[in-house]
Structure 1
Amino acid sequence: MRILNDRRARPAGPRAAGDARPFGARRLLASRWRIPVAFSLLAAGAVLAAPAVASASALPSPVTGHVYLDDNTAGSNTIAVFDRHADGSLTQLPGSPFAAGGAGAGAGLASEGAVQIADGGRLLLAVDAGSNQVSVLRIQPDGSLRRASVVSSGGVLPVSVAVHGSLVYVANAGPADSNYTGFRLAPWGSLTPVRGSTVALPAAAQPGDVLFNGTGTKLVGTRVGTSQIDSFTVGLGGRLTAAPGSPFTAQGVGPFGSQFRPTNPSQLFVSNAHNGTGLGTVSAFTDSGGGVLTSIGSSPVADQQTAPCWVTISPDGRYLFAVNTGSGTVSRYSIAPGGALTLLGSTQVSANGGVGAVDPGMSPDGRFLYVNESKISSVGAFAVSGGGNLTELPGSPTPLPAGATPAGIAVS
């Protein structure tokens, strides 16, 4: 502002009328005024340009969501939280890991769905397998967690949680007191048992997963120990009615991970984990109105890998990904409109392979796949491109907190 004032005060020019100073003095004054202005403009340009260059090279990818893992830590259980960036990369959220409230088992849970996002992204539910409890935590705007409640799971060794609206079911793997038990979830985070909802399971059942279809009208559970699949219809009060013929005999040994197709709630897909080395398969079923499961096409479809334990499906319903724990790969399938599966190939989880990869989770836009690499206590990140191809991102995998034996993954 001083320069503008000087400019208005200075003579109009070297020949301004009424200027009695010699021409040389007037010329010197003009040159003295021009030099500071020139330097000022250059300096201002440098100041303005420098941050633009720096921001272009150093500005981090913006945070677009979060990734949550149940650390299943022995003693006080914790939840690891990562910022999920627009480029798919992960960074640990400040303050992570967050106390869950109960105790972890300190060992793998052999299950899918140990942690779930609920209530439109406002709450997180996680099993506390070491204390036979379920923790509910509030998700803060920055992704951090605050404990809301901790309740009994209704059985022994909770391993999986299913959520649809306010209705929650927990699979307890026992062997003592093995069951499915229902709860009502309040907006403030409390869980109240649904009276008469518990479905007892045989001691040898070893449930590995429990989940709702997209409309909340069906619930299924896998019995890893006895190679069976439970199928139920869900009543208005939240209680379950077993489908005629349930539990159904699985199409392979050790039915494990399961997913309903996001675009078709009547199509169910289940991995068969324990067929043997190189003999893993994935099954496709139609789930009727009454909960009866019927095989689709040539199901089961081989994935040519070992122990396909965990599965997830892209949000558009076009691709299924099966994590092969025994061979350290992710098998990729396309899903036809009628539900038939076609194997596309397999992608190695890391450069070393055989890392004990377990739960997968996809970003809501379907652009990235995240894999819980429990054996090396890390999270792998993969870009999903055309045809369902996977490419591991630079910087992947991202380490988990010390002492974690992670189970479950949830992505927002």
Structure 2
Amino acid sequence: MGHKHAGATEAAQGIRHGGHVYMQTNETRNAIIHYLRSADGMITEVERVPTGGAGSGTFKPISGQESAPNAFEGAGSVLLTPDRRFLFTTNGGDNTVSSFSVGSDGRLTLVDLTPTGNPVTGRSGTAKSLAYAPSIGTLIVLHSFGPDHVRLMSVDGAGKLTLRLDRYTVNTPDKPNRVATMAALTPDQRFLFVGTTFDQPPTANPDGSAILWVPGPDGKPKSIASNEPDPDGLIVFPVSPDATLGRPSFYDANGGSPFFIVFLHNQPDTFVIGYAVGDGIAKGTIDGDGRVDIGRPVQIDTSAGKPSELCWLSISPDDRWAFATNFGYSGISSFRVDGPEPVVAQDPACPRVPGDGSFRALNGTVSSGPSCSWLTPDGAYLYQIYGNASKLMGYAVQPDGSLEELTSAAIPYNSPQGLAGA
């Protein structure tokens, strides 16, 4: 928390610092690309460090598509610890986690490679999202598919990982095959949030796009998007001091497919949700007993077709802006989030980035499939993955919430996932 406050102060004074950006290639021989970030926001590739594990490559295990961006449909797959000593990444292809030590120059050294304990069935595993509780030395690993969606690893002082026997599910008796997307810890590390996209894995149309509707018990079409209509798409686990998770509570997220959860920097009881099928964001709070209250979603312009697949979020250090990545629309929208409820600021916030024309989103639009984003600690620069365009883009954040293109780097086609930095 203190670092983010300092970043906000320095931003107000116009002070800029360089740093580092990290992204996993998610190739079948997975690697972390390390970029040096200059004070003016430009990025330069420094090294590609093998993780020792396997990514899913361009293959998308959620839908079975041979090649599609956002291959394992998750968020937070690359994680830098708050003290910047270690970097962790999932290896979705073989269900392992890699641990790296981070040098004073930002360079990475592989410390450990540990299986998550979930077997790989078929062509790829689905380990895809990480959350870290430094107070109890625990790394939380989320998988797309269950029943054991959540697995835990202990982290020692050298960054070595030890798998724990604990395993937890976000399935319910009537939904035995739910698809989870992201794990997020509350700032006090007392509760774990898990977002979901689907109540059952989607099948694919002939063009490779996912099918969102299936026949219901009454013969009428039923959405497979989570929380639409069943009000149980957001899952909250209490976290015990011994790092075990308690009985989960299932909450109405107030919108379809509550994909991404992020907590505000200066209001630790307040979070923002991005909805992949709900086409917008909402603010919520959690009290000391773990009770959650969520406001109404505020949507972007969906005239291009629903859903927009608004998935990933980055929050500015002063909690003023939320930058929302629209996977289906090939771009980013910005919101003001410093009021009682979000307000659309710039929609879109930057020009659309075209892909190679081979990928269609759920609404049928041709998309470059942007996925993970990362905002610098001073709030000055935003970096965004465009997998189908084979680009990592960097933007300068403008006073009105718009984004000005600044830099780009070539990245592998379709597979890259996860951004972290300092």
TM-score, with length taken from structure 2: 0.75
Give yes or no for contact 1:72–1:404 (8 Å, CA) kept in 2: no
| Correspondence 1:181 to 2:151 | yes
Task: Give the aligned partner of residue 283 of structure 1.
Answer: 282
Task: Give the aligned partner of residue 387 of structure 1.
Answer: 400
Change (3 A) 1:410 1:172: same
Distance 2:323 2:117 in 1: 32
Task: Give the aligned partner of residue 409 of structure 2.
Answer: 398
Q: Amino acid of the residue matched to residue 374 of structure 1? A: G
Task: Give the aligned partner of residue 127 of structure 2.
Answer: 158
Task: Give the aligned partner of residue 53 of structure 1.
Answer: none
- 1:276-301 Cα shifts (integer Å, max 9, x gaps): xxxx12122111222222123xx111
Unpaired runs of at least 5, structure 1: 1-61
Task: Give the aligned partner of residue 169 of structure 1.
Answer: 140
Q: Amino acid of the residue matched to residue 274 of structure 1? A: V
Give yes or no for contact 1:233–1:290 (8 Å, CA) kept in 2: no
- 2:417 is aligned, of 399, 407, 411, to 407
- 1:258 is aligned, of 238, 257, 261, to 261
Give yes or no for contact 1:328–1:348 (8 Å, CA) kept in 2: no
Give yes or no for contact 1:63–1:83 (8 Å, CA) kept in 2: no
Aligned length: 334
Distance 1:242 1:388 in 2: 40
Distance 1:102 1:66 in 2: 22
Give 1:355 deviation, angstroms. 2.3
- 1:248 is aligned, of 247, 251, 255, to 251
The structure with higher relative contact order (CA 8 Å, sep 6+) is: 2
Give 1:411 deviation, angstroms. 1.6
Helix, strand or coil for the counterpart of 1:146? Answer: strand
Distance 2:235 2:79 in 1: 21
Distance 1:288 1:389 in 2: 33
Unpaired runs of at least 5, structure 2: 1-15, 59-70, 119-124, 200-225, 227-232, 303-307, 356-366
Helix, strand or coil for the counterpart of 2:283? Answer: strand
Give yes or no for contact 2:389–2:413 (8 Å, CA) kept in 1: no
Task: Give the aligned partner of residue 274 of structure 2.
Answer: 271
| Correspondence 1:307 to 2:317 | no
Task: Give the aligned partner of residue 292 of structure 2.
Answer: 293
Task: Give the aligned partner of residue 358 of structure 1.
Answer: 371
Helix, strand or coil for the counterpart of 1:265? Answer: coil
Distance 1:356 1:125 in 2: 24
- 1:116 is aligned, of 79, 84, 99, to 79
Overall identity of the aligned pairs, in %: 25
| Correspondence 1:234 to 2:197 | no
Task: Give the aligned partner of residue 106 of structure 1.
Answer: 57
Helix, strand or coil for the counterpart of 2:400? Answer: helix
Task: Give the aligned partner of residue 130 of structure 1.
Answer: 93
RMSD: 1.9
Distance 1:355 1:63 in 2: 31
Give 1:404 deviation, angstroms. 6.6
5 Å-filtered alignment, 1:329-344, equals 329-338=331-340, 340-344=341-345
Q: Which has the higher helix share?
A: 1
Q: Amino acid of the residue matched to residue 397 of structure 1? A: S
Give yes or no for contact 1:153–1:172 (8 Å, CA) kept in 2: no
TM-score, with length taken from structure 1: 0.77
Q: Amino acid of the residue matched to residue 300 of structure 1? A: P
Distance 1:268 1:198 in 2: 26
Give yes or no for contact 2:354–2:389 (8 Å, CA) kept in 1: no
Give 1:136 deviation, angstroms. 0.5
Give 1:334 deviation, angstroms. 0.8
Task: Give the aligned partner of residue 122 of structure 2.
Answer: none
- 1:97-129 Cα shifts (integer Å, max 9, x gaps): 110011111131111101100151111100001
Task: Give the aligned partner of residue 225 of structure 1.
Answer: 198
Distance 2:353 2:236 in 1: 39
Give yes or no for contact 2:388–2:414 (8 Å, CA) kept in 1: no
Distance 2:265 2:312 in 1: 16
Give 1:337 deviation, angstroms. 4.9
- 1:354-387 Cα shifts (integer Å, max 9, x gaps): 4211111011111111101111221110111223
